[in-house]
């Protein structure tokens, strides 16, 4: 059961990071100044809600996932993970354990570090990725990208730099994330990008 649980967390991490980590350039990756995006996601047959907040065109960004996982033994496992990108760093926080890590944002694009504002033909080729037509998600006309790289297969539907829908297969498990609510150019409280005082952060 522990293997199932940690695999579940790994797939969550891969899916969130695939479109949450911008490269460390100090410039935004979205065409909207700010936004709040709510996604419905299904992992291993379990549905959760993912919330994404960003400001300054994505220079500041927070993504959270709150879920309850029934692994078939004992009480259900509570998952409350937050990823915050700001000031050139990525903070990954487990809000249940009140601990997290701090790492420098990557300057290189990859399967776990997507920034669609910087994707060009060379980048697409290096990740075995291609533009694969278009599609409509939540009434938005999206560019569609498909990827098969390092054991990760994924399809992204992208609008204004935002992945409004992601279908990812990693470690034999398929994960789908699709937007259910999109608030454009709204005021985001600064507190959304702050680490709670009771969380212990370790530099990596």
Rg (CA), the chain: 16
In this structure, are residues 145 and 132 in contact, taking their beta carbons and an 8 Å threshold?
yes
In this prediction, residue 1 carries a pLDDT of 43
List the chain residues with pLDDT less than 50. Answer: 1-7, 19-24, 111
What's the predicted TM-score (pTM) here?
0.81
Rounded-to-integer distance, Cα 104 and Cα 128, Å = 25
3-class state of residue 60 by DSSP: strand
Rounded-to-integer distance, Cα 103 and Cα 51, Å = 21
In this prediction, residue 23 carries a pLDDT of 46
Q: Which residues contact 180 (CB under 8 A, 6 or more apart)?
A: 38, 39, 40, 138
Cα–Cα separations (whole angstroms), residue 11 to 80, 102, 116, 152, 170: 14, 20, 21, 10, 7
Q: Which of 89, 47, 44 is nearest to 65 (CA)?
A: 47
Q: Can you read off the two tokens belonging to residue 181?
A: 């609510």
| 121-157 confidence digits (pLDDT tens) | 887 787 788 888 999 999 999 999 998 877 778 899 9
In this prediction, residue 41 carries a pLDDT of 80
Q: Can you read off the two tokens belonging to residue 51?
A: 């919330």
Q: Report strand pairing: 89-94 vs 162-170.
A: unpaired
In this prediction, residue 72 carries a pLDDT of 62
In this prediction, residue 144 carries a pLDDT of 94
Domains of the chain, each with CATH number or no CATH: 2-187 (2.50.20)
């Amino acid at each position: 059961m522990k293997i199932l649980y940690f695999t579940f967390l790994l797939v969550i991490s891969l899916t969130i990071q695939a479109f949450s980590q911008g490269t460390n350039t100090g410039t935004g990756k979205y065409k909207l100044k700010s936004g709040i995006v709510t996604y419905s996601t299904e992992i291993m047959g379990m549905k959760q809600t993912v919330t994404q907040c960003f400001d300054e065109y994505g220079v500041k960004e927070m993504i959270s996932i709150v879920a309850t996982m029934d692994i078939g033994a004992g009480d259900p496992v509570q998952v409350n993970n937050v990823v915050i990108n700001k000031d050139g760093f990525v903070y990954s926080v487990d809000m249940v354990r009140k601990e997290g890590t701090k790492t420098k944002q990557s300057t290189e694009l990859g399967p776990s570090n997507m920034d669609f504002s910087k994707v060009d033909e060379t980048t697409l080729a290096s990740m075995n990725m291609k533009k694969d037509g278009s599609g409509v998600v939540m009434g938005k006309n999206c560019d569609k990208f498909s990827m098969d790289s390092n054991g990760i297969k994924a399809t992204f539907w992208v609008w204004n730099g935002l992945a409004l829908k992601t279908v990812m297969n990693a470690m034999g498990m398929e994960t789908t994330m699709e937007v259910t609510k999109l608030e454009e150019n709204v005021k985001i409280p600064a507190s959304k990008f702050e680490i709670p005082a009771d969380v212990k952060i370790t530099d990596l």
